[in-house]
């Protein structure tokens, strides 16, 4: 079964009735090249005879996110660990961008509400960024090892 595109932090739920047995459950996530070797998860589902229907999900770590709203980046300072993907989402009805002061990243034009941009921060450091359309909008991501 394929699902629709699930945004960061989103949830897909599938409820099925299966006969008793052991089932392998694979959840693949395609990367930008359309491959899914590195991303996703595998799990084993055991259905017992006369087992009650019980849905159990492991806790999902929240995706670090920055909201762009009221002409500001919220939070103004976001602290993450190296290897974390940060997602910026425009909640304003006007266009914005996300541009690193050191030139290490630049978003596409986020023209419209709920458009987003994401970037993985691999190296520790403080990354200052701004909106090129509204240069007084400034914030930073602080990455620890």
Determine the pLDDT at residue 138.
98
**Per-residue confidence (pLDDT) for residue 55, from 0 to 100:** 61
**In the prediction, which pLDDT does 37 show?**
60
Where are the chain's structural domains?
Answer: 65-144
**Residue 2 neighbours by CB under 8 Å, 6+ apart:** none
The pLDDT of residue 113 = 85
Mean pLDDT of residues grouped by 10 in the chain (145 residues)? Answer: 63 72 77 66 79 65 90 98 96 96 96 92 98 97 97
Q: Say what the pTM is.
A: 0.60
Residue 140 pairs with which residues in a beta bridge? 77, 128
Query: Domain 65-144 class?
Result: mainly beta
User: What tokens does 39 get?
Assistant: 């991303």
Cα 118 to chain center, whole Å?
7
């Amino acid at each position: 079964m394929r699902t629709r595109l699930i945004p960061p932090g989103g949830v897909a739920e599938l409820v099925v009735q299966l006969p008793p047995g052991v089932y392998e459950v694979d959840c693949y996530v395609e990367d930008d090249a359309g491959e899914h070797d590195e991303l996703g998860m595998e799990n084993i589902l055991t259905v017992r005879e006369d087992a009650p229907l019980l849905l159990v999900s492991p806790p999902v770590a929240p995706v670090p996110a920055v909201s762009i709203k009221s002409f500001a980046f919220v939070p103004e300072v976001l602290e993450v660990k190296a290897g974390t993907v940060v997602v910026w989402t425009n909640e304003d009805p006007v266009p914005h961008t996300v541009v690193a002061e050191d030139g290490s990243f630049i978003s596409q034009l986020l023209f419209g509400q709920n458009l987003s941009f994401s970037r993985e921060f691999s190296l520790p450091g403080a990354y200052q960024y701004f909106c090129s359309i509204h240069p007084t909008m400034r914030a930073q991501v602080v990455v620890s090892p």
